[in-house]
A and B are shown apart, each in its own frame.
Chain A
């Protein structure tokens, strides 16, 4: 999946791509999509996967392609003129995209409404929301978590891709939200902390029982994971890959 992310980012050329935050998401998405979820877009009872950190869209497009939900040709329209697959995913339920991301924190608030509706409709599906740790600077995240907890939404799981970096640098320097575990816990959620690059750990956390509260999985990751010159680098947030860098990066992820 990392290789495909690099391929599409390279094809995007000088448009660049949100490589760092897509590469940090790989195991999270791999673990989530390996679960026995209902992806049937025409079924009200489908599980909802809402990417609130909309700039992780490239990773989402790649997992949707790998799972056969979108075609190879469609995925390759990434960042071409007139495409639906731009830097921030746009809602298209038939293509497995539940939310129009881009403006941080809006996915979570929307997801709380979806979770309320699903519960109101007595559905037995689950709503997964993927957030970034930088995104947690936004006030609306906390309004939303407060309400998810208030309404006891145990049909929701929030996964925080906690890669420690945001656009301007390390989160601990820009706006220190550490520890997110204690904050989500104080807001009334069941919180699990995992190595976000261990598929096994994430799966364990996803399958752990939780009742009467939303579950939050804080997944500790590395921005740009898998590529030496991107890993834990501020510059990886939005990156234009040169041909040489692309070859080197692909070699590194293939040998990993």
Chain B
């Protein structure tokens, strides 16, 4: 297969052809605006709920009595509610919004019957809401990572299938012959998620699947969600946004192609590292560690490609909000992948397994990489849908401060706290409760970080609301942190 096709922006086109393209883009954006705004708006509501739940669970780590007398807000329920709201609420909805818009743009197809996408999102969220209420009410499945009971999961799956089918149709009816690398990642994401979700829930329901196989299925599903679905959408957006805003094609299609194929071959085999050291056949964990190591091909090719595309244009992080968020995310992707590789090694895992270091890794991937890229994408896409530009670069700046520094601090605290805890427990004479107690400083710092993240998210949500009300700067020129000299475009 010839690797990828056109860059997102062909630079030299005749004026008339440019006008035709502009008209076509406007028609596509008009057809996408309803569902995409619906996805983004709902995603941001989930983000606010996630922030509140994350903050509560963080406080409970250093003040175990906090809200302890309210059964539905006990730590053991708030935590899974947080994880599900973050993954299936904010991440999935924002990801689907970006995916739908990117597919329509890159396949050059106007979205027919956008109401189907909205219906899908409604089903998804009704299922998710019911599921999270059940978790808070203690009616969980008890399977870590797949807590949402089957009946609610069926609603979610049905909603997803509507969205996924419409995404697949956009790909099927594409008018752009060769698919751009972002489209590859999006098609992979659209396909992998429902199959993983369905297989996992069916396996859970089968009476013959029990014992540690259940744990294996849950680990597989969680890993596929994070390391295939979420990662693929994040990379698709990064591969689109960076060349687009920098206004130069992606550095190398061959690198992009190699990266994609190594990703799709190995990422789905990494699930058993979550159960490393556990009561499973050794070959399973060994297989997953090997797959994690082989993913180095993807880490190197994707990181190199994005860095070389940015070469000479790094100053854009000072000007463009989209680039600042997306490039932050791209760096976090590299970091998350390298950390994931190192921590999968048995000698490292024996110290860091069962510690907050694993939570740090999840947040590095889901927040520092994926969410930051989604923020960047929303900053890029929204003006094209509502017809005005973001009101205030200071608000974007404040959002970046909260998310980058708050998120960075949270991840650093979880990672350092996890390393300190794991190393302390390596001494069998260490008193367990004392070791936990010694980590209090990290949990407190984590809560402060959550406060910063909360400020960022509130500012972002308000800014988004203003955009929905068309309160912004007149359209045409993107809102920048600082004007770009002659490179303004």
A and B: partners?
A: no
- Interface residues of chain A, those whose CB is within 8 Å of chain B, are none
